[in-house]
Structure 1
């Protein structure tokens, strides 16, 4: 495992709303223990504000909606020749108590269902599934293999599936499929399926790798309404997705600058 990849994952974990609130809260408690009452109260109150803001649906929706609105859902076009439908990885878990001994995460399942829908609209296309097992995971299967297992159970033909089980992130997924589609004819297209919030970053990365994919967003989280004025875990998830993508977009821009 590359050290830079591990650092990136740790950084993402630390910028999650609850992680930020916990770090600020601990700083406040340390100040209180050391007798710095005003400073301690300030940091503890700030940690509570971070929790409230990140769990408030109107704010979470306002943050995430612009990312999810950048691309519209995939619409069938009879004249469009699709060579590959690439479903990006999104996590899973395994266990004897689960149906088929594997269960995709809600993110991964939504991506797979949309990928199957698009692949079925284009019978000549190949369904590309990517994603590794995860850091420190007990999973025996990669995410790509887990998604294939579900796809086969739903009746999708095995000969139309291509796997990239070693790809650890979006960059590696893009590089893997770039080699695969290198022989595509000029009129054949690549469709990239991923979460709506992740798609702007994914498109950026795929284009940096010399590809011009057709975007296919799925797993929309943000709503155009307020979504409720009370704190909720769903709102925290939306805020976390927004923060995750901001860090990811910054990382992509940084790598582009360094490569130049």
Structure 2
């Protein structure tokens, strides 16, 4: 897990671009042409990935599953047996709360799942293991927030997974014990294609319930051609999804 974390930090932005800039500095005196290329790629990559317009276009390529319109929510009970929410990390030791809390992305998923639950009456399952091997599990944190802040109970918690593939594998195992094979899956729109692929490989019938679409009009000045920090963070998540969609079929069968 630690090796995977460090590799992602080195490869994904901004780490990979900083390495290119460092390489340019190291090569400047001996290989000026290579150094100039590395500097151009490093600075140019940072600029491009900090543009909201780039986020918007990249998300349109990745967000392939349509949203569930609200009129469809009550009919989910005829199409599925449980709502599964995938974890999305945590915020560490926030003094305002006195404990670790689900990330902002996870809270988006919980809010959406609570609305789907109230509209359909379907029970909920949280899926997420230990974050960097530190308890409590993401599933336990999400279940607590769902109960305390949304007054919605969680029936099942899958607390072993560390990857999207394991979310699917371990969730499917728990659900099979209950005779359940039809699920509503809640996660970000860009993450949904990879998550859907994983859950269907476990023999589950999946209704996709994506949220957090980024492939919409960015509503920024100058059409989103001014760089901003939020866009760099969003671009990094989208690049992570693009790599995941390409690599998962090679890593998992």
Q: TM-score, normalised to structure 1's length? A: 0.84
Aligned to 2:127: 130
Per-residue deviation, 1:147:
0.7
1:22 and 2:18 correspond: yes
Structure 2 unpaired stretches of 5+ = none
Once the two structures are superposed, the pairs formed by residues 34-183 of structure 1 within 5 Å of their partners are 34-73=29-68, 75-78=72-75, 80=78, 82-95=80-93, 97-99=95-97, 101-123=99-121, 125-135=122-132, 139-158=134-153, 160-182=154-176
1:152–1:96 CA distance, 2 compared to 1 (3 A): same
Q: Which runs of 5+ in 1 are unaligned?
A: none
2:63, 2:17 → 1: CA distance?
A: 25
Cα distance change, pair 237–222 in 1 and its aligned pair in 2 (3 A) = farther
Is 1:232 aligned to residue 225 of structure 2?
no
Cα deviations by residue, 1:50-74 (Å, 9 ceiling, x for unpaired): 1111112212211112322432235
SS at match of 1:247: helix
The alignment partner of 2:151 has SS state of coil
TM normalised by structure 2 equals 0.86
What is the total number of aligned residue pairs between the two structures? 247
Q: C-alpha separation between the residues in 1 aligned to 2:244 and 2:4? A: 9
Identify the residue that residue 250 of structure 2 maps to in structure 1: 254
Does the C-alpha gap of structure 1 residues 10 and 254 become closer, same or farther in structure 2, counting only changes over 3 Å? farther
Aligned-residue Cα RMSD (Å) equals 2.4
Deviations along 1:3-40, one digit per CA (max 9) or x if unpaired, are xx5554444333312112111111100012x4433332
Question: After superposition, what is the alpha-carbon deviation per residue over 1:217-248, rounded to whole angstroms, capped at 9, x for unaligned?
Answer: 11223323564220011221222122101111
**2:67–2:211 contact (8 Å) kept in structure 1:** no
The range that moved more, 78-87 or 17-26, is: 78-87
